Amino acid sequence: MPKFGRRSLNNLSSCHKDLQEIMYEAIKYYDFSVLEGHRSVERQLMLYTEGKSKIDGVKKKGKHNYMPSLAVDVVPYPVDWEDSNRFHFLAGLIFGIAERLREEGKIEHRVRWGGDWDKDMDFQDQTFNDYPHFELYK
């Protein structure tokens, strides 16, 4: 059974308890790493400047900029940035787990994924894909 490494555990510890609950359940079924939870405003601005984020953290706060973080970035392990199918698979797993945990009353939030920002399950209509990104909403 897969398990989180030290870095993933540290990154996940900065996340909202609902994200932690979801990710601890998902790791039981599929191996992935947690790249980032909480993000400083300086790091958010750097990612915005590099074109890796649409939010600068200054004029508009990102979900990563809260403490605890309302967003988490995860990648299937081992990492293959060219294999979008593995990101889609992981997203489906996380959605299913999040919905089950919500129905069981173990978490309060729903999850939105950076590969389907408008939550319509049409993955072809995105103008900005952020496959590692998951965030909470009510």
Sign of the CA dihedral 76, 79, 85, 91? Answer: positive
Domain membership of residue 1 (yes or no) is no
Pairing of strands 32-36, 110-114: unpaired
Q: What is the DSSP letter of 11?
A: H
| Structure confidence at residue 104 (pLDDT) | 98
Is the pTM higher than 0.85? The answer reads: yes
Q: What is the CATH number of the domain that holds 120?
A: 3.30.1380.10
Structural domain including 111 reads: 6-137
Q: Print pLDDT tens along the chain (138 aa).
A: 899 999 999 999 999 999 999 999 999 999 999 999 999 999 999 999 999 999 999 999 999 999 999 999 999 999 999 999 999 999 999 999 999 999 999 999 999 999 999 999 999 999 999 999 999 999
Domain membership of residue 99 (yes or no) is yes
The number of distinct structural domains making up the chain is 1
Domain membership of residue 62 (yes or no) is yes
